[in-house]
């Protein structure tokens, strides 16, 4: 035991004297060892190292760590640590996330609002939480926010807040920031006048705007944004405010190339709705100006509401159908969507999609991803689809229930044949049984 202790001591001394030095006395060696140990003390870590660690900590743990020593407390108040912050607000005791403590919110507003650059609000479905978010927004008068996101974990949240209250709070940030580049305000009562304020103060910096399901915004309001924010690269909106004029504005010579256009096609009211059509030459103008733009469309419609869609060539790249879509519409997609790279069908009914799927493979030569659920395809047709697409299919998510065994292939055999054409091992997805 004594020999082991000496061995450990010798190792420590050797470690501390790795560089060749004159012979030192016993007390000097101990002093060096002590110094070496002090250097390994957590409290003596450089500011930038502690800052990096703090950035990975949850807010509550970060606040507790700040009371460990003076040095860590200094790091806790470094502006870089407060450039990005998410306010979590909820009223429900069963919510899966914890609400940011009111005292901490006031501390941030008082001491760190000028440092905030990337701010988001995560709220539950209660009006109280949404109103609390508006209250915080209205106090951010000395900020230079670049990114703003309002996230509702469940509807209705912001939509139940008074429109005037919400707009008043939001425009405080629009007016005072003057450097907003990314805004996500979906499912909110934002309106045309507030968008004009946004444009008046942030037209040179705005690059991303997501505002799907904002019923108080008209086609004129979004057109104002497109006309003045020439640097806009990403836009998300509802189909009802998409117009030929908007597409032409996004295609003007002075506008930068659009990179991402997301369009939500939703039937908000009960009963079938007749949607307007976008002219082919409007789409052509957009693609000529921005040839690499991703046009993403989410559909939540009844089958009878698809009448105006895909009758002419449409430059959509990603298609998601959340509700039932007919065989006729899928046939039109195959013939009129040559840029299609991803197709997801969540429901179709009980009619097999054999011919439609093969038609998609033959005409949509850019297709790389397919997802099928709650519809039917024979195993033979599916294998033929994969054979036609080949290894360009990088994502293939097919529920096992979709595939119907036939005389050529059983469910046990199909994965071997599909894997052969894909060049990798593939199995259909299976719904877990809980």
**Cα–Cα distance between 119 and 110 in angstroms, integer?**
16
pLDDT value of residue 6: 38
Averaged pLDDT, 27-35: 49
pLDDT for the residue 433: 60
- Alpha helices, DSSP H, located in 138-259: 163-177, 192-202, 219-228, 244-250
* pLDDT attached to residue 2: 41
Q: Give the pLDDT of residue 184.
A: 96
Structure confidence by residue, pLDDT tens digits, 270-302? 566 789 999 999 999 999 999 999 999 999 988
pLDDT of 26 above 50 = no
The whole-angstrom separation of Cα 223 and Cα 219 is: 6
Asked if 54 contacts 37 with a C-beta cutoff of 8 angstroms, the reply is no
Locate 276 and state its tokens.
């307007």
The first and second tokens of residue 159, run together, are 């939509």
For residue 269, how far is the Cα from the chain centroid?
Answer: 27
Output 33 or 206, whichever has higher pLDDT. Answer: 206
Instruction: Yes or no: say if 318 and 294 are a contact pair by the CB < 8 Å rule.
Output: yes
Residues contacting 15, CB < 8 A, separation 6+: 36
- Determine the average pLDDT of the residues in 226-238: 96
Q: What is the pTM of this model?
A: 0.83
**CA separation for the pair 261, 316 (Å, rounded):** 9
Which DSSP symbol is given to 108?
Answer: I
Mean pLDDT, residues 350-360: 91
Cis peptide before 61 (omega within 30 of 0): no
Rounded distance between C-alpha atoms, residue 373 and residue 321, angstroms = 10
- Phi first, then psi: what are they for 262, rounded to 5°? -105, 130
Mean pLDDT, range 166-185, rounded to an integer: 94
Find, among 363, 323, 328, the residue nearest to 344 by Cα. 323
The closest of 123, 166, 122, 120 to 145, measured between CA atoms, is 120
Residue 93: per-residue pLDDT = 62
Model pLDDT, residue 7: 39
Whether residue 17 is predicted with pLDDT greater than 70 in this model: the reply is: no
pLDDT at 349: 67
- Please report the pLDDT score of residue 54 as a whole number: 83
pLDDT at 71: 83
How far is the C-alpha of 411 from the C-alpha of 431, rounded, in Å? 15
Greater confidence (2 vs 297) lies with 297
Q: State residue 431's pLDDT score.
A: 73
Angle (nearest 5°) at CA 283 between 260 and 330: 85
Say which CATH architecture domain 44-80 belongs to: Up-down Bundle (1.20)
Strand partners, 324: 347
Averaged confidence pLDDT in the chain:
86
Percent of the chain past pLDDT 90, that is, above it, reads 59
Per-residue model confidence (pLDDT) at position 310: 95
Q: What per-residue confidence (pLDDT) applies to 5? A: 41
Band of pLDDT at residue 98, cut at 50, 70 and 90: confident
| SS3 assignment, position 134 | helix
Where are the domains positioned within the chain? 44-80
Measured CA to CA, the distance from residue 167 to residue 177 in angstroms comes to 15
Q: Please give the average per-residue pLDDT across 340-349, as a whole number.
A: 88
> Is the separation of the CB atoms in 235 and 209 below 8 Å?
yes
Q: How far is CA 13 from CA 5, 29, 408, 425, in A?
A: 12, 7, 76, 56
Calculate the CA 74 to chain-centre distance.
33
Instruction: Provide the pLDDT for residue 77.
Output: 81
pLDDT higher than 60, residue 10: no
CA-based nearest residue to 308, from 329, 294, 282, 285 = 329
Res. 323 pLDDT band, cuts 50 70 90 = confident
Flag whether pLDDT at 256 surpasses 50: yes
């Amino acid at each position: 035991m004594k020999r082991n202790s000496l061995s450990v001591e010798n190792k420590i001394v050797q470690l501390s004297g790795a560089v060749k030095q004159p012979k030192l006395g016993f007390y000097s060696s101990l002093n060096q060892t002590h110094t070496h140990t002090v250097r390994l003390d957590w409290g003596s870590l450089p500011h930038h190292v502690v800052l990096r660690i703090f950035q990975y900590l949850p807010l509550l743990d970060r606040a507790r760590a700040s009371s460990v020593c003076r040095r860590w407390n200094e790091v806790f108040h470094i502006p870089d640590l407060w450039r990005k912050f998410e306010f979590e607000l909820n009223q429900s005791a069963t919510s899966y996330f914890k609400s940011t403590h009111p005292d901490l919110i006031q501390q941030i507003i008082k001491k760190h609002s000028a440092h905030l650059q990337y701010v988001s609000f995560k709220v539950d479905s209660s009006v109280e939480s949404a109103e609390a978010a508006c209250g915080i927004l209205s106090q951010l008068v000395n900020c230079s926010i670049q990114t703003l996101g309002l996230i509702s974990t469940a509807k209705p949240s912001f939509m139940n807040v008074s429109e005037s209250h919400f707009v008043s709070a939001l425009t405080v940030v629009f007016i005072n920031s003057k450097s907003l580049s990314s805004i996500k305000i979906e499912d909110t009562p934002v309106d045309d006048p507030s968008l004009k304020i946004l444009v008046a103060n942030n037209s040179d910096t705005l690059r991303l705007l997501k505002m799907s399901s904002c019923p108080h915004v008209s086609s004129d309001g979004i057109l104002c944004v497109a006309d003045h924010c020439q640097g806009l690269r990403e836009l998300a909106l509802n189909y009802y405010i998409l117009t030929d004029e908007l597409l032409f504005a996004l295609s003007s010579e002075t506008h930068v190339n659009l990179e991402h256009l997301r369009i939500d096609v939703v039937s908000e009211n009960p009963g079938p709705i007749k949607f307007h059509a976008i002219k082919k030459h409007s789409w052509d103008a957009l693609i000529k100006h921005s040839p690499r733009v991703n046009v993403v469309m989410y559909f939540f419609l009844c089958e009878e509401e698809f009448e105006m869609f895909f009758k002419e060539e449409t430059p959509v790249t990603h298609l998601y159908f959340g509700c039932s879509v007919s065989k006729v519409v899928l046939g039109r997609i195959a013939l009129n969507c040559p840029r299609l790279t991803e197709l997801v069908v969540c429901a179709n009914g009980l009619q097999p999609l054999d011919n439609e799927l093969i038609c998609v493979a033959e005409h949509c030569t850019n297709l790389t991803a397919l997802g099928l659920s709650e519809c039917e395809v024979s195993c033979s047709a599916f294998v033929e689809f994969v054979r036609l697409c080949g290894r360009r299919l990088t994502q293939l998510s097919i529920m096992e229930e979709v595939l119907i065994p036939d005389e050529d292939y059983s469910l046990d055999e199909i994965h071997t044949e599909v894997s052969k054409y894909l060049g990798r091992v593939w199995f259909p997805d299976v719904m877990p049984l809980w």
